Amino acid sequence: MSAGTLVPDGTILQLIVEELVGRGWLQKLAEVSSTSIKPEDKISAGPQYQTNDTADASFILDGFPRTAGQATQLDALVPMNLVVHIHTPTSIILDRIANRWMHAPSGRVYNTTFNPPKTAGRDDVTGEPLTRRADDSPDTWKARLKQFDDTNAPLLKHYDSRGLLWRVEGNSSDEISPKLFKELDARFGSAESF
């Protein structure tokens, strides 16, 4: 992570499995017996798991998997029943980035378009100056979004071919959330339980 690279797939999958097992949402059936298997490869080699099908064992993964390879490994561990692809036009994303300011010590984020500070350029709580993140440049984000699209195409195809992909479009959470809750309600019951 300190080098700016992604955490290896095996490590992320192991963290997810440990959390799900710890909550009782996955149960181990058998351990991997071979000591020649590296810890990060144990997920694909075993152990085998059984899912807990009770309603309280539901969970959401946000931002993972990011690649079709990660999705295939995740599929071997736990069945997915819905993958949501939230699509917001690039122009809207870039506009939000261009208008984003933050109070670095607290992490509070402002946007001059829809969530401006009470006093321009100043944090609402402390009055200290707001700053921009170093990576909030349009060129940086255009490159990130291109990489995201290139990586996501096979991932979306993977889940679409399995009949799990549902796409929602919108420019803001106010527009997207009602559509999402309606779909969750139609598939899984009352959205009030989410």
Asked if residue 14 is part of any domain, the answer here is yes
Residue whose C-alpha is closest to residue 115's, from 130, 128, 134: 130
Secondary structure letter of residue 8 according to DSSP: P
Average pLDDT over residues 154-175: 94
4 or 165, greater pLDDT: 165
19-70 tens-digit pLDDT: 988 888 888 775 544 444 344 444 444 446 777 777 777 888 888 898 898 9
| 56: three-class secondary structure by DSSP | helix
Range of the domain at 33: 1-71
Regarding whether 161 and 104 lie in a shared domain, the answer is yes
Q: For residues 117 and 122, what is the distance between their CA atoms, to the nearest angstrom? A: 7
Q: Would the pTM of this model clear 0.85, i.e. be above it? A: no
- Answer yes or no: do 52 and 88 share one domain: no
Residues 60 and 88 placed together within one structural domain of the fold: no
Q: How many CA atoms lie within 13 A of 157 on its CB side?
A: 9
DSSP 143-187: HHHHHHHHHHHHHHHHHHHTT-EEEEE-SSHHHHHHHHHHHHHHH
164 and 185 belong to one structural domain: yes
Position 64 scores a pLDDT of 87
Domain count, the chain: 2
